[in-house]
Structure 1
Amino acid sequence: MNGALKGVVAALGTVVVGSAVTAGGVFASAALFDTGPQAKPAPTPTARPVGAATKEITRGDLVDEESVDGKLTYADGRTIKAASGGTITALPAEGSVIKRGKRLYAVDRRPRILMYGKLPAYRTLKDGVKKGPDVKQLERNLRSLGFARGVTVDNRFTDATERAVKRWQKKNGMERTGKVTPSDVVFLPEEVRVSATKVDVGDQIGALRPILDITGTDRLVRINLDADKQDIAKKGRTVTVKLASGKSVKGKISRVAKVAKPAKSSGNQEKGATVEVEIKVTAKSLGALDEAPVTVELTRQRAEDVLTVPVEALLALPEGGYGVEVVDQSGARRVPVKTGAFGNGRVEVTGTGLAEGMKVTVSGR
């Protein structure tokens, strides 16, 4: 039984209205879930129960959603480690964004500069070095930064490349050697945000010492979705992210894990399995929020331009299936209905003679 039907059962358990009540009470048996063939509406109006509340039949879109708790953070977290030892002489501020050509940190007043690329710096690039994609990656950055006058961007380190490197080194207050070592640059795919510094200015460090925790600048929401519900999380699908402040923003599913992992309860006991879902959000209203709790609304089912009634308007009919009690000037009458989508406390209905604006009785309201 899905969540929507469970809600119907709970609502129907308290229905005591009009002709839906018999000497044996409301028939909420297995027949409740079998809408059966479309029956004809009762031809004779029945007396409206004294004090019965009514609500209107409305027409519009109906969305059934699954709410899942998640956390808003930044994408692509990693740690930058020192390539050489010495004394830390400069660090960036936490929360700052470092772009191509800017300093990440400095050791012995020697800056380590961010350049864009997927291949890490693994050797010294200089005149006479063997051809390779890392040379092309360096030359591409020198061109983007305005230092590659006369340089052909290819896999060869030429005299023109060396001159471009020297111009770049002069601009950054570095010794003009014409060589680029792994201590001089860090290659990363794009600009980064500094989430934490792992050392202080003045610290003596060795090679491979963690210096900075960084992330990408894209905002990301991560949720753990029950594995049996992963069919509602499709890559590229738009979702609603609700912030603790009450604001809502739109996001797009960017990744759905292919392997489910055991979920842990508060007692550290395994409790079913979940899949991790990542949602990219770009709204400016997010500010600098990080590691903030959010709620994600995933669409389970959507019905457009349909008639809907409150769930508590549904009656369990003695002959099986559902009905609603329509109230007008002539009294009240039962109309058998077929149900469709559920969402936000309402249910899609179709039935003979039903129209927008009609009033139906609701239980306990």
Structure 2
Amino acid sequence: MGPAALDDQTGSTTGSDRPRRRRGRGRKIIGLLVAVALAGAAAAVTVRMLDRTGEPASAAAALPPATTQIAKETLEDTLEADGELGYGPATTAVNRKPGTITWLPDSGDTITRGRSLYRVDNDPVVLMYGSTPAYRDLRDGVEGRDVENLERNLSKLGYDGFTVDNEYTYATAAAVMEWQEDRGLEQTGVVELGRVVFADGKVRVDTLDAQVGQPASPGQKVLSYTGTTKVVTVRLDAEDQRLAKEKAKVSVTLPDGRTARGRVTEVATVIVPGEGNQDPETKIETLVTLDAKDRKKAAGLDNAAVDVTFTADKRENVLTVPIASLVALREGGFGVEIVEGATTRYVAVETGLFSGGRVEIEGEGLAEGMTVGTAAS
């Protein structure tokens, strides 16, 4: 029994238009998800049948409407998305002590370990490095990672006589009193809540939320800060999460057209509020750090719109055909129609990566340069 043809449908699969997050043009989908590509292929080709031997039961009644050749090439599953070059998400410094704000840094200032982030009643609120936020008074007898943070900073600032661990001892208190004396603070040996702010490293002041002379109260926003290394922030749709892998390499196209290399350094799920009556959206927020050799290319660019190309998969030197050359087989799976002069035969194939309208294929006897049928353009 010969191949049984169903209705022919021709066309192409394209990504749906999406509004850009920061600029007024759509995202460009370069790579195709396998599921989407399969659906597009099924809609774009004529469905035929192979018998159980893998050979057609009779010669093809007619040649396919168009032909192409099997090619050997490199396929990449890529996505180009909008990004913003800046200093990454900002963190808010919240005041913990009552009084009056008597000093603030300028926006853009860099604050390092042991320096004042701001002052209340002329007493410094000091920046120290650490991953655990300050959340309590630190005094003799308490234990925890925040204690270790404090002790490590004191050691880096030149104070000694104690062991850097998670225990606040009398020796720790003695070092704290020496530090308090040097900073013009009352020598209590206790680091009260609100005296230090822990950050991952040195910070860049982003915005000021308070003014000098303004009353300060616990819970009040004083300023926001970021890191000091320029990064690219990209918000991807949830279905593109496969591209957002830490340490994954990316390519960044700068506003002047130059390309910089980068690497994904942080991935987080965020909820973006909807505009108007729209529902909130779940996005994958990805931070990309430029390679050290390419950071000079971004000098002088702040809050710049860039394009970021992610690569989820890459297949080198594989056999490929247009997606429209796939034939859906009655016995299941896909095949291609090999054209040999005035006759054709069908070969079942295993599909691999889909990209740019083409698909990777493997099948018995297939080789580069063979002619295969495809849907008419």
Q: Name the TM-score class by shorter chain.
A: 0.5 to 0.7
| Equivalent residue in structure 2 for 1:145, among 146, 151, 157 | 157
Distance 1:88 1:355, change over 3 A: same
Asked if 1:123 is matched to 2:137, the reply is yes
One of 175, 189, 198 as aligned partner of 1:187: 198
- Percent identical across equivalent pairs? 33
Shift in Å, 1:48: 11
Q: Which one of 93, 97, 118 corresponds to residue 105 of structure 1? A: 118
Cα distance change of structure 1 residues 222 and 157 upon mapping to structure 2, 3 Å threshold = same
The aligned amino acid for 2:55 is A
TM-score relative to the length of structure 1: 0.65
Whole-angstrom CA distance in 1 between matches of 2:133 and 2:235:
27
Aligned positions of 1:162-201 closer than 5 A: 164-169=175-180, 171-172=182-183, 174-175=184-185, 177=187, 179=189, 180-201=191-212
- Could you say which residue in structure 1 is the equivalent of 2:361? 349
Is the CA contact (8 Å cut-off) linking 1:97 and 1:193 kept in structure 2?
Answer: yes
TM-fit CA distance, 1:206: 3.0
In 2, Cα distance between the equivalents of 1:264 and 1:81? Answer: 23
Aligned-pair CA distance for 1:340: 0.5
SS at match of 1:2: helix
Equivalent residue letter for 2:111:
I
- TM superposition shift of 1:112: 1.2
Segments of structure 1 that go 5 or more residues without pairing to the other structure are: 13-27
- Call closer, same or farther: CA 1:253–1:11 in 2, change over 3 Å: farther
The match for 1:8 is: 41
Partner Cα separation in structure 2 for residue 217 and residue 352 of structure 1: 56
1:357 shift after superposition:
4.0
**Secondary structure of 2:197's partner?**
strand
Counterpart Cα distance in 2 of 1:361 and 1:101: 71
Cα deviations by residue, 1:163-203 (Å, 9 ceiling, x for unpaired):
5335434554x246354333432234544443322123343
Aligned residues: CA RMSD: 4.8
Query: 1:45-92: CA deviations, max 9, x gaps?
Result: x9999xx7x755322443445777777776675321223244434323
C-alpha separation in 2, matches of 1:192 and 1:41: 73
Shift of 1:361: 6.7
Separation (CA, whole Å) in 2 of partners of 1:78 and 1:196 = 10
SS in 2 for 1:177: coil
Structure with larger Rg: 1
Name the CA distance, whole Å, in 2 between partners of 1:356 and 1:222.
40
Give 1:4 deviation, angstroms: 0.8
Closer/same/farther in 2, CA of residues 344 and 222 from structure 1, 3 Å limit: same
CA apart distance, 1:210: 0.8
Deviations 1:225-265 (A, max 9, x none): 14xx86x47865837576685757554485576xx98x988
Q: Which runs of 5+ in 2 are unaligned?
A: 1-33
* CA pair 279-364 structure 1, distance change in 2 beyond 3 A: same
Query: Could you state the TM-score of these two structures normalised by the residue count of structure 2?
Result: 0.63
For residue 332 of structure 1, report the CA deviation from its aligned partner.
6.4
Are 1:40 and 1:336, in contact at CA under 8 Å, matched by a contact in 2?
A: yes
Q: Counterpart of 2:35 in structure 1: which amino acid?
A: N
Indicate whether 1:39 and 2:55 are aligned.
yes
Q: Report the counterpart of residue 57 of structure 1 in structure 2.
A: 70
* Closer/same/farther in 2, CA of residues 119 and 333 from structure 1, 3 Å limit: same
SS of equivalent to 2:159: coil
Q: What secondary structure sits across from 1:201 in the alignment?
A: coil
| Counterpart Cα distance in 1 of 2:202 and 2:276 | 40
**Cα gap change, 1:270/1:80 in structure 2, threshold over 3 Å: closer, same or farther?**
closer
Higher relative contact order (CA 8 A, sep 6+): 1
Aligned partner of 2:289 in structure 1 is 282
Contact 1:70–1:223, Cα closer than 8 Å, also in 2: no
Q: Report the Cα distance in structure 2 between the residues aligned to 1:171 and 1:353, rounded to whole angstroms.
A: 81
Match of 1:16 in 2: none
Q: Contact 1:42–1:334 (CA<8 Å) still a contact in 2?
A: no
| Higher mean C-alpha deviation, range 248-257 or range 74-83 | 248-257
Pick which of 80-89 and 211-220 moved more. 211-220
1:310 to 315, 322, 329: 322
Matched pairs, number = 325
Q: Provide the residue aligned with 2:25 in structure 1.
A: none
